[in-house]
A and B are shown apart, each in its own frame.
Chain A
Amino acid sequence: MTIALGVLQAVLLVIGAPLLRGIVGRLKAVLQRRQGAPIWRPYADIWKLLHKENLVSPSASGVFGLAPLLLLVTSILVTAFIPLLANSALLGSAGDFILMVYLLAFGRFFLALGGIDGGSAFGGMGASREALVSSLAEAPLLLGLAAVAIQASSASIVGMTQWALEQNFFNISAVHLLAFLALGIVALAETGRMPVDNPTTHLELTMIHEGMVLEYSGPNLALIEWASAIKLSFMVGLLIALFAPWGMATALSPAALGLAVVAMLAKMFALAAALAVIESGIAKLRMYSVPDFLGVAAAIGTLAVIFTALMKR
């Protein structure tokens, strides 16, 4: 039963990912007072791309075709770590947060290789920028997760969620607050959102993620788009699970599950709204300021880890 629940959670995250992306886009449009695309547009995009032809540059090697597949597979794998409806996940007990982080890194590494492999100048530039951003983002990601893990005395996401579930909402934990800030900044960097990267830009010199995928087309591009949407839903799910998991079903009854679904939808919508507000409100940072920004996140993550020893909560 728990396996079915785990599969359901993973399927929800994977299939519902483009919908989340569409909702964020729609909210941004509402905030910016323009018409905006309907929330189902990302599905239509993926469908359209799947039916187009794969144009591969003559100088590309096998990595070019392999990268989107690996990216998608690792993205789907990491979603299996996240508890969504109840406090259990497919890979909940099998893997810990370090495995999760490095699965993500694995996919990202191959995407960067694919970007260079395409042979265009913008691909290489995007790939090198992405390497900088992701290497700097890795530290706060690990630090924030480590701080939460030390507090919860457990290395798996399920264990951390269990600890959070047992706490009183009013009893604010300093460690969690700081880890939330650090992970929030990392989430913006990982998913390629403002202020680190503008997902809707058409100026190649300002692209990071989009620059890497400039050479991709057809089904390859569809897989990449889907994978980046999955990363967004993964990040949102991770933040909810670690920091606001209340409402999850403790028993496997229809009522509890229904409540859990409603709670999950509400929380995801809230985070999507927050993301839309941040994206509309803050200007994109210059590339020189991005390491600074991520350095702030690293400092906050360091403080979170130190606080596990200093503060009692």
Chain B
Amino acid sequence: MGILETTAGKVLSAYSVFLFLTVLAQAAARRFSTNVLLFSLQSAIIAIQVAVIGYHEKLVEAYVVAALIVLLKVVGIPYAFFRLIEKLQAPREVISATSAAESVFVAVGIICLSYAAVRSYASGVHAPEDGLAASVALILTGAFLMVSRRKALVQMIGLLVLENGIFLAALTTTFGMPLIIEIGIFFDVLMGLLLMGLFVFRIRDTFDHMDVSKLRKLRG
């Protein structure tokens, strides 16, 4: 019992470091499969975090949510993405508006910005500062991925990272929302992904490419 307590505490403070590392790696990644695997890793870290909190606070709901995260985000969604890549026969590399080094610098800027935001705005919130900063960093990184990457598939990953960040923010501050709402949110995210996958197919069929930066017919 004693060793588990200390390990739990260390995991709580250490996980934010690993999440920052995944943020940097996602910014630098140049292959789409790397992005998917990093997302899976992020979700796994968050699932561990949920389980640890469940253990600390003696909440059974937390274990259910952790199991859901593992099932959907760590296993299910990445598997679906890999199948999607196969079916689409998409080119493997990620075309980005910024090079790898520039993206990593932007990621560094995002991390500093999230710390600044947490320090100035959320000082009254009694929540682990590192955890909250990690969640804000994930949100901003998701937004950055959506904006700077040109392939539709990577934009979906960016959206997923954004949702991960929001979920983490909820987790760090309030230990989660009522279970039924959490399940509803999961369902919504899943449906959203399904629809986006459908649309990616239609984009590929209509345009013969998946470079969304070239979808510029409607302007003004």
Contact = CB atoms under 8 A, between A and B. Distances in A.
Q: Do chains A and B touch in the complex (CB under 8 A)?
A: yes
Interface of A: 170-172, 174, 177-178, 181, 291-296, 298-300, 302-303, 306, 310-311, 313
B101 A295 contact: yes
A178 to B, nearest CB: 8
B102 A295 contact: yes
Contacts of B24: 296, 299-300, 303
Interface string B99-134: 111101101100110010000000000000010000
Contacts of A174: 16-17, 20
A170 B104 contact: no
Nearest to B106: A299
Contact of A292 (B13, B99, B115): B99
Contacts of B28: 296
**Interface size classification for chain B:** 20 to 34
B115 A310 contact: yes
A177 B17 contact: yes
A299 B107 contact: yes
If over half of A's interface residues share one DSSP class (helix, strand or loop), that class is named, otherwise mixed; here it is: helix
B10 interface: yes
A170 B99 contact: no
B21 interface: yes
Contact of A302 (B14, B16, B20, B108): B108
Interface in B1-49: 6-7, 10, 13-14, 16-17, 20-21, 24, 28
Given A170-B6, A171-B10, A311-B130, A300 B112 contact: no
| A172, A174, A181 — most chain B CB neighbours (10 Å) | A174
Interface of B: 6-7, 10, 13-14, 16-17, 20-21, 24, 28, 99-102, 104-105, 107-108, 111-112, 115, 130
B10 A296 contact: no
A292 B112 contact: no
B107 to A, nearest CB: 7
B105 A295 contact: yes
Given A292-B99, A296-B101, A172 B17 contact: yes
A295 B17 contact: no
Contacts of B13: 313
A310 B116 CA distance: 9
Contacts of B130: 311
B104 A295 contact: yes
A296 B102 CA distance: 8
Given A177-B21, A299-B107, A170 B10 contact: yes
A296 B14 CA distance: 22
Contact of B112 (A295, A296, A298, A306): A306
B17 A299 contact: no
Contacts of A172: 10, 14, 17
12 contacts: A294-B101, A295-B102, A298-B101, A299-B24, A299-B104, A300-B24, A300-B104, A302-B105, A303-B111, A303-B112, A306-B108, A306-B111
Contacts of B6: 170
